[in-house]
Amino acid sequence: MKEIGDLLILFGFDSKPSIGRMKNSSWTQCTDAPKIWIDQVTADWKGFPFQIIKVNDLCFCALGEFTPSNFQSLNSLQKGVAKQTGSFLVFAWNESDSTWHAWTDRFGTLHAYYAWDGHRGALGTFSPAVTEAASRRVLDWEALAGWFSFGFFPADRTYYTDLHVLRPASHYIFDHSGRLLTQERYWNWKYQPDENRSYEDTIHEFGSLFNEVMSDALGVGRVAVPVSGGLDSRSTVAGISPEKSRDGRIWSYSYGYSDDSAEISIARQVSNARELPFQAYTIQPYLFDQIDRLLAYTEGFQDITQARQMFVRDEIAAHADSLIAALWGDVWLDEMGLSAYPNAADDDVLRRTLKKIRKKNGWLVHHLVLPHIGSDAIESLLEGFVQAELRQLRDIDDPDFRVKAFKTEQWSFRWSIPPTRVYQSAAWPRKIFYDTRLTDFFATVPVSFLSGRRLQIDYLKRFAPDLAWIAWQVYDANLYQYQYFDTWLLPKRALKKAWRVVRKHKVLERNWEVQFLCPQGRAGLDQWLLHPGLRLYEFVAPDHVRALLDDVFSSPKADNGYTVSMLLTFSTWLEKFG
């Protein structure tokens, strides 16, 4: 197995792609499969594990964690895809009928895109290259309404009307010209809580499965383990055996917004408890020095201030070949707020889901979206996006798990995954909580076992008591005492707050505060949001942008910080890829 930077399949023409993920990209035509172009790995982009296998009239290309089997036909290949546990994409050329096939993994943890301009098509892993080849480049203002309002694009929509992302757990078939013929799911959600398994047995089964998944993820090479003040990364540390923690391959790290960050302090205690090498970093203004690389990794699909791992990207590359990514554990191991309403009506589920994902973004909608779609359409449009996705999950009777499935299909797929490509640029991210062995298990756990992170907390108490005695950042108390957060621990919290007030010590909680509220941030925002001739000004007047920036610098708060972050992402995307 080798590594490639990106893959692009061109239909109807053979011209060499001219745009790649990195400035020093170099596309070459693949000699082992038709229509495929391969971009090379660089120091700034580690890309994908890659393999090509030919069987009879079938040639398939697998990216990521894909274990080949004895595939003799498309049917056997599809059955094999459904059994895979990791992050992967599979593309297959069927010579007998001149069709291309594509499969995504169950949760869409590696992204690919397709475009069709009416004459020719393209399919690949880097959206700007697909756009360049086969898009008419008409902005999709309805999709942008969703992006500004939710923080992620809805369904399979993107910036352009004819550019789409391949959805999770799906099989696509394209004809010889790149026209999409069919799209179908090969896996569907099932929630079947095991009411006969005791709570204690459920904890032990989770512990056994989790250790198995962690053992596989730590198998070979140098491994980075990000550690925070929360429970998910702590669980990954609990899953590292003493033998592995001492073999010299594992390196742990954490970062915070100040030298005395609670996140760093807790992470250091967690790492030290298991004798892991540990490095702490205090995040400094980096965004505008790294904005080109960061946009190349995320492709503009997420607010670029969210990917704070960019600050330590080069450190990860120097220390590791792979990385343990613990995202989405907090979703699987908690409820969605509907456990008390097992018979909630569909409309109530819709309202609660909208409330969970809706951002306060009045400025963005008013200045950018409404001129294109009208004020009367916006609410019904957003509601329609969510309703359509929930409707596809209507076979899940339990409303809490239905919302969890929705969040995984949409929020995770469109918002959480793009910044993991920052990790991927440096070291291969092993997404522990997307392993199907664990997710199949979570689909059997009654929601009452998960409420308030109950199962995860008791797992740590039973299997890693040394880590359970360390404070949980959100409660500033260990897992044996956190439930007294609002009773006898209240004086301790009040005293800490009073001490911060006396010291006039502001606790930074958001990356945009570090990146924007400093001289480098002001200069960077001026460059990308106020410089004469920006493409952004085709859609909004400079005076409105200037007033927005004056507001965030005079009175920074979550709402205007989000607005500026999204506007910055949109402007940089327009300049680089638009």
482-493 confidence digits (pLDDT tens): 886 666 555 565
Cα–Cα distance, 398 to 407 (Å, whole number)? 14
**At 73, is the pLDDT very low, low, confident or very high (cuts 50, 70, 90)?**
confident
For helices 141-150 and 378-391, angle between their N-to-C axes, nearest 10 degrees: 80
Which residues are registered as beta bridge partners of 173? 101, 182
Cα–Cα distance, 355 to 128 (Å, whole number)? 32
* SS3 assignment for 524-562: HHHHHHHCCCCHHHHCCCHHHHHHHHHHHHHCCCHHHHH
Cα–Cα distance, 251 to 234 (Å, whole number)? 14
Q: Please say if the pLDDT value at position 114 is more than 60.
A: yes
Cα–Cα distance, 304 to 295 (Å, whole number)? 7
220-230 confidence digits (pLDDT tens): 899 999 999 99
What percentage of the chain exceeds 90 in pLDDT? 80
| Highest averaged pLDDT of the listed ranges 21-35, 371-385, 509-523 | 509-523
What 3-state DSSP class applies to 237? Answer: helix
Contacts of 304 (CB under 8 A, 6+ apart): 287, 291, 294, 295, 298, 565, 568, 569, 572
Per-residue burial over 39-74, b if 16 or more Cβ lie within 10 Å, else e, is bbbbebbbbbbbebbeeeebbbbbbbbbeeeebeeb
What 3-state DSSP class applies to 29? Answer: strand
Which DSSP letter does residue 418 get?
A: T
Which residues are registered as beta bridge partners of 38? 7, 28
Query: Tell me, what's the pLDDT at 496?
Result: 61
Cα–Cα distance, 156 to 107 (Å, whole number)? 13
Q: Please say if the pLDDT value at position 505 is more than 80.
A: no
Burial status of residue 487 (CB atoms within 10 A of its CB: 0-12, 13-18, 19 or more): exposed
Cα–Cα distance, 576 to 376 (Å, whole number)? 32
Region 504-532 average pLDDT: 90
Is 268:278 a contact under the CB 8 Å cutoff? Answer: yes
Query: Tell me, what's the pLDDT at 374?
Result: 81
Determine phi and psi for 185, rounding to 5 degrees: -85, 140
**At 508, is the pLDDT very low, low, confident or very high (cuts 50, 70, 90)?**
low
Determine phi and psi for 150, rounding to 5 degrees: -105, -25
Q: Please say if the pLDDT value at position 494 is more than 60.
A: no
What does the block give as tokens for 289?
């020095």
Q: Between residues 34 and 323, which one has the greater pLDDT?
A: 323
Query: Tell me, what's the pLDDT at 510?
Result: 93
Cα–Cα distance, 208 to 203 (Å, whole number)? 9
216-266 confidence digits (pLDDT tens): 999 889 999 999 999 999 999 999 998 888 889 999 999 999 998 999 999
Q: Are strands 250-256 and 223-226 parallel, antiparallel or unpaired?
A: parallel
Q: Between residues 78 and 564, which one has the greater pLDDT?
A: 564
Query: Tell me, what's the pLDDT at 502?
Result: 59
Cα–Cα distance, 237 to 225 (Å, whole number)? 8
**At 340, is the pLDDT very low, low, confident or very high (cuts 50, 70, 90)?**
confident
**Length in residues, the chain:** 578
Is 434:87 a contact under the CB 8 Å cutoff? Answer: yes
Cα–Cα distance, 283 to 532 (Å, whole number)? 31
Cα–Cα distance, 521 to 524 (Å, whole number)? 5
- Mean pLDDT across the chain: 93
Region 310-337 average pLDDT: 97
Query: Tell me, what's the pLDDT at 306?
Result: 95
Query: Tell me, what's the pLDDT at 57?
Result: 85
Is 394:400 a contact under the CB 8 Å cutoff? Answer: no
Q: Between residues 48 and 341, which one has the greater pLDDT?
A: 48
Q: Please say if the pLDDT value at position 17 is more than 60.
A: yes
What 3-state DSSP class applies to 365? Answer: helix
- pTM, to two decimals: 0.94
Which DSSP letter does residue 166 get?
A: P
Cα–Cα distance, 410 to 415 (Å, whole number)? 8
Q: Please say if the pLDDT value at position 498 is more than 60.
A: no
Which residues are registered as beta bridge partners of 249? none
Picking from 164-178, 280-294, 334-348, which range would have the lowest pLDDT averaged per residue? 334-348
Contacts of 379 (CB under 8 A, 6+ apart): none
Q: Please say if the pLDDT value at position 89 is more than 90.
A: yes
Query: Tell me, what's the pLDDT at 500?
Result: 56
Region 358-372 average pLDDT: 90
Cα–Cα distance, 43 to 426 (Å, whole number)? 8
Picking from 53-57, 113-117, 291-295, which range would have the lowest pLDDT averaged per residue? 53-57
- The amino acid at residue 477 is A
Contacts of 432 (CB under 8 A, 6+ apart): 213, 214, 217, 236, 324, 325, 326, 329, 438
Region 145-159 average pLDDT: 97
Query: Tell me, what's the pLDDT at 556?
Result: 94
Q: Please say if the pLDDT value at position 495 is more than 70.
A: no
